[in-house]
Structure 1
Amino acid sequence: MTDTGSLGGFAAATGLVGAAAVPRTGYRDPEVSPSGAPTTTTHLSPEQTAAHRALVDEWNDRLEGRTAEEIMAWVNDHLTGTIAVTMSMQDTVLAELAQGRVHDAELVFLDTGYHFDETMDVAREVDERYTLPLRTVEPVLTVEEQTATYGPDLYRDNPTACCRMRKVEPLARMLNPYEAWISGVKRVDSELRKNTPILDVDRTGRLKINPIVQWTDQDVEDYIEAHDLIIHPLTRQGYPSIGCATCTLPVAPGEDPRSGRWAGSSKTECGLHL
């Protein structure tokens, strides 16, 4: 169990705030990703991309104001092929919404190697509770291999490079078999996300569906309670937004829920939804 006591003590222990940078002399440039696996998603054909853009143009405004359940039903009725449902394991809302509604779907979890123990516990519970298959995606390098290659605590000195290698690139590889994916982005998450549409075409031509984009944080809590969902214990201990243990701090009441992510740096997004 991760100690969630003193914010200052946790920051000092993880090196998030006020710690000196570790020299990178003798290590690989973190801008150079490890070899051995693709770092980008293969683009869909122009025809597939055009078909997705047509769906966005026809349906985006019509889906505005619809419930998340109705949006999931729309996905099942209008898309073919397996749909990726991305799971952070902060909550299990997307799994619950997809179960029984999107019949050809896979739950996808990015195991960065830096997750809280509690996050991994939720992932195991999800695998037991839902019949949709759970696919776990990992970076090319283990944490130990990354340290040996790029130096210790890359998340502290270059969090953007660390997120790229442990989140963005694994997701890019994971998306290759899919033509569409579902995310849990909400407009209330941050200023950067306030205009997020329900349907979008990502940079590779894939359709991205944001079924709870219209929800508030209270809507999430109400849904969790109404459906007796698995609860990530840290969300009840001052962590309204949970990422890697190395880069997530508790947040005081009334503060921006995402202010505990990459605390002490100017970083606000890992890059998955940019």
Structure 2
Amino acid sequence: MPTYTALVDRLGAIADEVPGAVIANSLGMEDMLLVHAAAEAGLTLGVLVLETGRLHEQTLALLDTAMARYAGLNWDVRSPDSQALARIIQTDGVNGFRRSVAARQACCQARKVIPLNQALAGYPGWITGQRRAQSLTREALGLRETDGHGRLKFNPLANWSLKQVRASIDALDIPINPLHDQHFPSIGCAPCTRAISAGEDVRAGRWWWEQPDSKECGLHPL
């Protein structure tokens, strides 16, 4: 059974193996657990955040809180290129991403994927909060992978359940997005995230108008 102590040890091993690695932090529960563990252990890991321009106000407030509480970590906050966004809006409209998977992926590319790849070019490896139980597209997730650019990518929470993540969050008094307690287990951009109902998959509220096998933004290629 996964434990917080084992997580801290795993992060420490990653920091030793890949000095200068960065935690890709979407400000979800899983990523906040990683950030807390890294800060508590005094690890030399960076924290990379994508401010897409469409995040919930609650998410932005959490970012301010996290940067103040975990000020010892090296925070790197990136935003999308304004000209790229202007082209997307001119082509598809402000909310045109609901018209097709291709239009939605184009929006994700401009707001998330391109800024992420540009940022990661300056890091030797990265760490995510992905879990196998999150969706059909993540069932084969490994603890250690190589991304499409040859960088090492670590998923130390791959075998954790949502219940285990939340138990550690509560026990350690880690700040989280208040939307999690309003039935938002997975939080992305505000127009593309909704609350879920009892019994729904934890990622059912992400791009809910699409089929389950297409629900990735491109940050984590299938």
Task: Give the Cα separation in 1 of the matches to 2:88 and 2:27.
Answer: 25
Cα pair distance change 1:142/1:243, threshold 3 Å:
farther
What is the 5 A alignment of 1:119-198? 119-130=59-70, 131-141=72-82, 145-146=86-87, 149-150=90-91, 151-157=93-99, 158-198=103-143
Aligned pair 1:118/2:78, yes or no?
A: no
How far residue 103 of structure 1 moved from its aligned partner, in angstroms, is: 2.8
Task: Give the Cα separation in 1 of the matches to 2:15 and 2:112.
Answer: 27
- Large movers: runs of 4+ above 4 Å: none
The structure 1 residue matched to 2:160, chosen from 206, 215, 222, is: 215
Structure 1's unaligned 5+ residue stretches are: 1-65
Equivalent residue letter for 2:74: P
Cα pair distance change 1:109/1:142, threshold 3 Å:
farther
TM-score (norm: length of structure 2) = 0.88
How far residue 168 of structure 1 moved from its aligned partner, in angstroms, is: 0.8
How far residue 211 of structure 1 moved from its aligned partner, in angstroms, is: 1.0
How far residue 100 of structure 1 moved from its aligned partner, in angstroms, is: 4.2
Equivalent residues of 2:12, 2:43 under 8 A apart? no
Task: Give the Cα separation in 2 of the matches to 1:182 and 1:195.
Answer: 17
Task: Give the Cα separation in 2 of the matches to 1:142 and 1:155.
Answer: 17
Equivalent residue letter for 1:98: A
Deviation per CA, 1:86-113: give whole Å up to 9, x if none: 1111221111121144632111111111
Residue 15 of structure 2: aligned partner: 76
Task: Give the Cα separation in 1 of the matches to 2:215 and 2:87.
Answer: 23
Deviation per CA, 1:66-105: give whole Å up to 9, x if none: 921221111122223x111111112211111211446321
Task: Give the Cα separation in 2 of the matches to 1:76 and 1:234.
Answer: 31
RMSD (Å), alpha carbons: 1.8
Equivalent residue letter for 1:179: P
Cα pair distance change 1:75/1:232, threshold 3 Å:
same
Which fold has the larger relative contact order, with Cα–Cα distance below 8 Å and residues 6 or more apart in sequence?
Answer: 1
Structure 2's unaligned 5+ residue stretches are: none
Aligned pair 1:244/2:189, yes or no?
A: yes
Aligned pair 1:104/2:44, yes or no?
A: yes
Q: Whose Rg is larger?
A: 1
How far residue 208 of structure 1 moved from its aligned partner, in angstroms, is: 0.4
Say which structure is richer in helix: 2
Task: Give the Cα separation in 2 of the matches to 1:148 and 1:194.
Answer: 34
Task: Give the Cα separation in 2 of the matches to 1:195 and 1:272.
Answer: 16
Residue 264 of structure 1: aligned partner: 209
Equivalent residue letter for 1:70: D
Equivalent residues of 1:110, 1:170 under 8 A apart? yes
Aligned pair 1:87/2:25, yes or no?
A: yes
Question: Aligned residues, how many?
Answer: 208
SS at match of 1:99: helix
Percent sequence identity over aligned pairs: 32
TM-score (norm: length of structure 1) = 0.72
